[in-house]
């Protein structure tokens, strides 16, 4: 029996407001356990309990060049990682778009709290990862997304999981692939973690 502990990743599908549900997935090896959280404290408690190697978050965790805050109206609208998504034909919402500003603000604050706890938080984009893997995004075909994640080797999935939980599973899986050298960081600095497009690998 191996003495090596399985890799633990906590994926977070962050909502812009604590009044809306945030999906959280603890991926231990390839077994997923999910739940819904609302407050930052609930999310941070889950991370503290899991003690993950990395925390991929579905929310912008950086600002475009030249902007000092999300409320700053000067500077670029797109980041280097956003431009790379554009080149790859992956649809996304710019961080400066109205509804995205609240999510960005919460994401930046949450990242700081996670790093204070001693964990690494990275930005991910479940919809983009699903495109790369050739599986449906949750708003198009939730059952298809569930099946696609199962085909990728994720265990512990249940049909009762919400769309937020399935995107959190996706985020966690992206983080695992990144740690195993099957993903990349888009952008010249800390950008968006994305998987390479090899759907056959299930480790």
Mean pLDDT rounded to a whole number for the chain: 91
Give a yes or no: residue 79 inside a domain.
Answer: yes
CA distance to 82, 104, 176, 185, per residue, from 190 (Å): 12, 15, 17, 7
Say what the pLDDT of residue 197 is: 77
CB burial class (10 A; 0-12, 13-18, 19+) of residue 192? buried
For 85, the domain range is 8-195
* Dist CA 176 CA 105 (whole Å): 26
Q: Is residue 200 a part of any domain in this protein? A: no
Report pLDDT digits (tens) over 133-150: 999 999 899 999 999 999
Q: What share of residues in the chain are helix, strand, coil (percent, to 5)?
A: 35, 20, 45
Please report whether residue 2 resides in a domain.
no
Q: How many domains does the chain fold into?
A: 1
Residue 191 within a domain: yes
Q: The pTM is what? A: 0.91
At residue 32, the 3 state secondary structure works out as strand
Residue pLDDT, tens place only, 104-128: 999 999 999 999 999 999 999 999 9
**Domain for residue 59, yes or no?**
yes
Q: What is the CATH number of the domain that holds 125?
A: 3.30.420.10
- 202 assigned to some structural domain: no
140 within some domain: yes
Residue 201 belongs to a domain = no
């Amino acid at each position: 029996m191996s003495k090596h502990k399985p890799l633990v990743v906590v994926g977070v599908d962050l909502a812009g407001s604590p009044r809306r549900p945030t999906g959280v997935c603890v991926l231990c090896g390839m077994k997923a356990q999910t739940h819904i959280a609302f407050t930052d404290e609930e999310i941070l408690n889950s991370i503290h309990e899991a003690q993950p190697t990395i925390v991929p978050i579905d929310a912008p965790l950086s600002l475009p060049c030249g902007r000092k805050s999300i409320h700053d109206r000067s500077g670029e609208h797109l980041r280097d990682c956003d431009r790379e998504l554009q080149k790859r034909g992956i649809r996304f919402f710019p961080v400066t778009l109205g509804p995205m500003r609240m999510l960005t603000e919460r994401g930046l604050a949450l990242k700081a709290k996670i790093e204070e706890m001693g964990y690494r938080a990275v930005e991910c984009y479940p919809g983009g990862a699903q495109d790369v893997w050739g599986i449906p995004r949750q708003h198009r075909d939730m059952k298809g997304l569930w099946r696609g994640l199962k085909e990728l080797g994720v265990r512990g999935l249940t049909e009762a999981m919400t769309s937020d939980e399935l995107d959190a599973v996706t985020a966690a899986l992206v983080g695992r692939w990144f740690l195993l050298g099957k993903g990349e960081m888009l952008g010249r600095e800390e950008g968006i973690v994305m998987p390479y497009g090899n759907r056959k690998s299930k480790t």
